[in-house]
Amino acid sequence: YEGFSGKLITTILRPGKRPGGKEIVSYVKRIVERIRQQWPDTVIVYRGDSHYSVPEVFTYLDQQTDCYSVTGLTGNNVLLKHVEILIKHVQQQPAGFKRYHAFMYQAQSWSKPRTVVAKVEMTDIGKLNVRFISTDMHNAKPKALYEGIYCARGNDELYIKDHKTYTKSDRTSCHRFLANQFRLFLHSAAYVLLHSFRDNLLQGTSLGMATFDSIRLKLLKTGARIIELKTKISVHLPTAYPYKGILSKCLAIFEHLRAQPWPPPAIT
């Protein structure tokens, strides 16, 4: 998913084991190349947890223009040594206290050093919590990197929920792997339609931030009386339908779009 808008980038059915570096690079490379075809000057930030913090990806992104990465990093004794003094300081503070610290570090498998940001905090229950991320965005502030970029990946969980729970994309009951991948494509097409519908037609309404399930139940799954005439079909909604104004707005936009030439003229 694209991190700001939630637009779908791709969906790939794969075995349930941790992906290797070569596999991840094969996906990232195709995505970056397609983005560059349309937006050659866009800055791309690769973001993921520690499972996706692999040297193959870092090497590939280092070879690209305006491509950066912010990934989780599993802690070890060397990293903990860098924040030993900070840990002792934080342990003396009240619950909820936290500090960030950045330093340069190079794992044995990395081709060059990266900036590591450590978050050291006393949780609300008074327990010490130490977390690490690594990045090649060396000039950014540690707190902005951790809270503004890395932690924002939590929004992706909401996108996954929309995709998996509300479009039933986890229904992969076919016997063949390829057939299940095709089913996933169909569920992904439903995600794209619902996401575009919400972002382009429902903004500014009470359903502008609704989940896909709420949109389906309140706007799409509506009881109506259908009358088939000689030259047209009439659909009569209930007079007490609470979302009549929103639906009328959507239908008016559809009617306007239907009158436009297709395909639309190319932008020059």
Q: Are 249 and 257 in contact (CB under 8 A)?
A: no
Tally of CB atoms within 10 A around 229: 7
Estimate to the nearest angstrom the gap between the alpha carbon of 146 and the chain centroid: 16
Q: Are 1 and 159 in contact (CB under 8 A)?
A: yes
Q: What is the pLDDT along the chain (268 residues), one digit of tens a residue?
A: 998 899 999 999 988 888 889 999 999 999 999 999 999 999 999 998 898 899 999 999 999 999 999 999 999 999 999 999 999 999 999 999 999 999 999 999 999 999 999 999 999 888 999 999 999 999 999 999 999 999 988 888 889 888 999 999 988 889 999 999 999 999 999 999 999 999 999 999 999 999 999 999 999 888 889 999 989 999 888 888 889 899 889 988 888 888 877 776 665 5
Q: Indicate whether this model's pTM tops 0.85.
A: no
CA torsion 102-107-110-114 (nearest 10°) is 10
Q: How far apart are CA 179 and CA 175, in angstroms?
A: 8
Q: Are 49 and 133 in contact (CB under 8 A)?
A: no
What residues pair up with 217 in beta bridges, in sequence order?
A: none
Q: Which residues of 140-173 are buried (b: 16+ CB within 10 A; e: fewer)?
A: bebeebbeebbeebeeeeebeebbeebbebeeee
Preceding amide of 263 cis, omega within 30: yes
**Sequence spans of domains, the chain:** 21-162, 175-258
Ramachandran sector of residue 96 (left: φ over 0; alpha: ψ -120 to 50; beta: rest): left
Q: Tell me what percent of the chain is helix, strand and coil, each rounded to the nearest 5.
A: 45, 15, 40
Q: Are 134 and 180 in contact (CB under 8 A)?
A: no
